[in-house]
Amino acid sequence: MNLSRRGFIKLTGTSLAASSVGALGFGYTGEALAAAVRPYKLAAATETRNTCTYCSVACGILIYSMGDRAKNARSNIIHIEGDPDHPVNRGTLCPKGAGLLDVVHAPTRLRAPRYRAPGSNAFKEVSWDFALDRIARLMKDDRDKNFIAKNAAGTTVNRWTSTGMLAASASSTETSYATWKVVRALGMVVFDNQARV
């Protein structure tokens, strides 16, 4: 556009006058209703109940993930908040619980069992099969070596005192029942819970 000096002054004057008319309140107010703040992000997210991973209080949490679990959609956790129907916390969460989302997505989060072989100074990632087999092997060896079937008086006691079990406290009644059965069935007497630690 080739503007003379006079033309430029005319144009700026007109623009100023036009914007002044807007400032006087003659603007199009209809657009005021078109603008919107952030939409609610969980409208169609999938809600999953769970228990907080942190302390022994075991607060109920609601995990929200994107996707409706359709075959072609991969779920991903987008938000976590307290479960209002859970008797322990009734929707509340402490600062750690309120920040659980970042635990889920932390790059340093442990995602697979890791193994440090005797004499080695580094952990290496191993398969669940390897880890469970090795734990079972070591437990069996220790139990075979140290199992006490009868005490000095000859009474049957079936004790295994050289291995202990520390259970999580953030577990349901059913999980606790199963844990108890497994541990006691093996004869283990050293048995404690995170809630007491």
Q: Which residues bind another protein (CB under 8 A)?
A: 13, 16-17, 20, 23-25, 27, 29-41, 43, 79-82, 84, 89, 91-99, 101-102
* Nearby residues of 95 by Cβ (< 8 Å), 6 or more positions away: none
Phi, psi of 99 (to 5 degrees): -105, 15
Rounded to whole angstroms, the Cα distance separating 182 from 136 reads: 13
Q: What is the DSSP letter of 23?
A: I
Please, what is the minimum distance in Å from the beta carbon of residue 46 to another protein?
17
Please report which residue ranges of the chain form alpha helices under DSSP H: 5-21, 95-98, 100-104, 128-146, 173-185
Closer CB to another protein, residue 59 or residue 183?
59
Please, what is the minimum distance in Å from the beta carbon of residue 140 to another protein?
44
Closer CB to another protein, residue 88 or residue 167?
88
* Of residues 47, 45, 53, the one with CA closest to residue 73: 45
Phi, psi of 49 (to 5 degrees): -85, 145
Closer CB to another protein, residue 17 or residue 112?
17
Residues 53/168, Cβ–Cβ less than 8 Å = no
Closer CB to another protein, residue 3 or residue 21?
21
Residues 150/187, Cβ–Cβ less than 8 Å = no
Tokens found for residue 42: 């969980």
Please, what is the minimum distance in Å from the beta carbon of residue 98 to another protein?
4
Please, what is the minimum distance in Å from the beta carbon of residue 68 to another protein?
18
Please, what is the minimum distance in Å from the beta carbon of residue 96 to another protein?
8
